[in-house]
Structure 1
């Protein structure tokens, strides 16, 4: 810690909490990470002297040492020992197969719930909507962030979107439990199930199943595109929003900016046995080392960490001191405004200002008062699922994806060849390109690449895997390259696969 911050101390009238000693692993991160972490830890030490901090290796230093995931072995050991991590922003090198630290930590540790409060601090921080107070609950492990991608032809790559029922159940239940624990009145689910009827449709369906178990909380659903627009234009219509992974990532950034600044947004990542706390913003290498970064996002994340650890008094004291600092017009450059701010300060002086106000409560903004402990349903979520009767699953065909490139790319030429290969057990129902039907009777204006989905339903009620193997062998012997197959199933007689556009 720098000498400047080391000299800062809580004023004599402030009495820190008398709490059991505990150790928190800390990863300073990259770019502005070390500066804002230094400021945050100075405030934590002043408000909660029983805390100690164990610094671990995450980010560029780990990448440069040859760790492709960007995480040192010391980090895994510290998390295993203490079940918590306070992390600064990380820079992931471009290309070269480097993995995102954030995604690796969230998925490896099972941190399935990403909580991102987005609050307006009007009039002390300029905001598009002065009364905004929305909490985004983002599923953290599934969706396209599973990171399963393949290049299948010269022109086509794919990314798999994975949505599971257990994953949906636990994040939706967490959103309702959070709303109940914090006196929130409404939970809104946002998906794109008008297009992705199976994946997003499952998320929406689980939401509708769980919502009646919380009759005191209003529940509704919106399509994600109009929902995001409404967050930007009418955020006071929302309270708690729960979404799949990708939408939640985008939506929380939009909401944070609408509330005033993404630099003020903190977040928590909650799992069964551990939790990680981090600011929403990135590492901002362009301003690193200049003592101008706003530490507020990381500081508010640390406040969430204290609440999670059952250290309610220092969490309350720090948050209220931070609000007082905003009220007094002591602002970093990103939120400073001539005429309304009183003093522009750097990262270190902002931390000192918060420390000086420990023990005070805001005069105009609402003071916070955290409960002594989080409800067990949030700290140790019960995700046990009721017994379910497995659906009757029947194999009724196969989609075969071909990498086929002829000079004409004529789907009729391909269709005629595949009709002859279908055999007695299958029929060729259609061929699509980029999801659009091109055979039979396709539109000649449709853009066609070298990647073709060929749907072979069974001629009878069902088929077996050996029949599919024989079909694939015939296709290969005819000189076609199958790059992927997807079996077609029904579940209790309901189709478990999507129709093609134009089918």
Structure 2
């Protein structure tokens, strides 16, 4: 008799449409668990952390929140941010607190051009474009090093210092992660992105580490770009991209550009990984909380459902992850699209279509 695999998932819906899209993703996970005939189950615990929690308690999460999350197999996250709470408070108080507290140092953000989605990019082979951003997720420009001072000076004389922190260890582990990832793909190529001509300390260190590590991967093609030129490369020659590795800030910005080119931030999935699995990893869509459409039931759940696929793959359920991605592709191919993609379908209809295509895929297998 095969023992049931039980996965404990911490669920943080967060704010705005995060609540709606996480609910959609959980419906997909429940469907897969129910049809597995007891092969695996998901045990979910919900945490009400976010901006509403902050307004009631003066903090974005429990004081021992990171410790509580450390007992789970994975974290499923919605979105953070809502009017009334400054963005830097909501981000540092929840998402970044979790990523840094659990050392989720590798963030991956695939850029995929789904069938049936209106094209935002004029490219002769847009249907075959597919690349992945690897984002250093623990230091760099989001280290939180700095401060504000001299607020008591007369006039507008306050000083703010924001420092980017680059360590050789931090650079090496994310660059090595990118090379290892490239070896799993059809085209083995890593592109490094910096701004080392202007940032002559931290990013020159990054360049030097990239050059050193690349010598250990002679089978992997490499190139290097400055971030401004890379932004143009995303638009002009995306066929040259495969695995793109960059610092915390640069990969954050470039991933939004890639998602927009692919159709919408609503379809972009991401994973915040502790690759050695010493602590749980966190899975979330790239988009924000979108307060303007929250509660209307029209949010695009594809990014969050795609993030669930990344979570399943990380947990060892690679076949189920692949089935989710194929069901998403079949759904968009059928023209079942939300408003951000030029369609008319709502969140529930997209979710139901994905589950229907999951069922159809199961019957075919």
Which TM-score bucket, shorter chain as reference? 0.7 to 0.9
Q: Are positions 1:293 and 2:277 aligned together?
A: no
The aligned counterpart of 1:32 is 17
Q: Which runs of 4+ in 1 moved over 6 A?
A: none
1:92-130, Cα deviation, whole Å (9 max, x unpaired): 611795534221111111011010001112443433142
**In the alignment, what sits opposite 2:209?**
206
Is the CA contact 2:115–2:329 (under 8 Å) kept in the aligned structure 1? no
Deviation at 1:169, TM superposition (A): 0.6
The one of 299, 309, 313 aligned to 1:307: 313
Match of 1:485? none
- Give yes or no for contact 1:57–1:75 (8 Å, CA) kept in 2: no
Which residue does 1:275 correspond to in 2?
Answer: 281
Distance 2:311 2:7 in 1: 12
Inter-partner Cα distance in structure 1 for 2:64 and 2:285: 22
Q: Check conservation: 1:60, 1:90, Cα contact below 8 A.
A: yes
Higher relative contact order, chain-length normalized (CA < 8 Å, sep 6+): 2
Q: Which residue of 2 aligns with 1:156?
A: 159
Larger radius of gyration: 1
The residue number in structure 2 matching 1:90 is 80
Kept in 1, the 8 Å contact 2:118–2:263? The answer is yes
User: Structure 1 212/144 Cα, relative in aligned 2: closer, same or farther at 3 Å?
Assistant: same
Q: Is 1:331 the counterpart of 2:316 in the alignment?
A: no
Question: 1:151 and 1:118 mapped to 2: Cα distance?
Answer: 37
The counterpart of 2:46, out of the listed 30, 33, 55, is: 55
* Pair 1:96–1:208, CA change in 2 (3 A): closer
Decide whether aligned partners of structure 1 residues 291 and 148 sit closer, same or farther in structure 2, where only a CA change above 3 A counts. Answer: same
1:74-223 map, 5 Å:
75-91=65-81, 93-94=85-86, 99-128=92-121, 129=123, 130=126, 131-153=128-150, 154-223=157-226
1:258 to 239, 256, 261: 261
Task: Give unpaired runs (5+ residues) of structure 2.
Answer: 35-40, 151-156
Matching of residue 233 in structure 1 with residue 236 in structure 2? yes
Residue aligned with 1:43, SS:
helix
Residue 64 in structure 1 maps to residue 55 in structure 2: yes
Alpha-carbon distance between aligned partners in 2 of 1:174 and 1:124, rounded to the nearest angstrom: 31
**Cα contact 1:306–1:314 (8 A) shared by 2:** yes
Q: Distance in 2 between matches of 1:262 and 1:230?
A: 19
Partner in structure 1 of residue 352 of structure 2 = 352
Once the 2 structures are TM-superposed, how far is the Cα of residue 184 of structure 1 from its aligned partner? 3.8
Could you tell me the TM-score, scaled by structure 2's length?
Answer: 0.87
Distance 1:361 1:187, change over 3 A: farther
Rate the CA distance shift 1:73–1:148 in 2: closer, same or farther, 3 A: closer
Q: Is the 8 A contact 2:17 2:295 kept in 1?
A: yes
How far does the alpha carbon of each residue in 1:62-119 deviate from its partner, in whole angstroms, 9 at most, with x for none? 3123243x12357435422114100001116117955342211111110110100011
Whether the 8 Å contact between 1:56 and 1:72 is mirrored in structure 2 is no
C-alpha separation in 2, matches of 1:192 and 1:156 = 25
Change (3 A) 1:96 1:193: closer
Conserved 8 A contact 1:27-1:57: yes
Distance 2:328 2:115 in 1: 14
Indicate how the Cα distance of structure 1 residues 18 and 218 shifts in structure 2: closer, same or farther if over 3 A, else same. Answer: farther
Specify the SS of the correspondent of 2:215. Answer: helix
Q: Secondary structure at the match of 1:334?
A: helix
Note the aligned Cα RMSD (angstroms): 2.2
Determine helix, strand or coil for the equivalent of 2:79.
coil
Q: Which residue does the alignment assign to 2:37?
A: none
Matched pairs, number: 340
CA distance in 1 between counterparts of 2:300 and 2:111 reads 16
Asked if 2 retains the 8 angstrom alpha-carbon contact of 1:115 and 1:136, the reply is: yes
Q: Select the structure that is richer in helix.
A: 2
User: Would the aligned equivalents of 1:57 and 1:72 in 2 still touch at CA under 8 Å?
Assistant: no
* Alpha-carbon distance in structure 2 between the residues aligned to 1:360 and 1:106: 37
249-258 vs 309-318, greater mean Cα deviation = 309-318
Alignment of 1:428-467 (within 5 A): none
CA distance in 2, matches of 1:32, 1:155: 37
Q: Distance in 1 between matches of 2:214 and 2:312?
A: 29
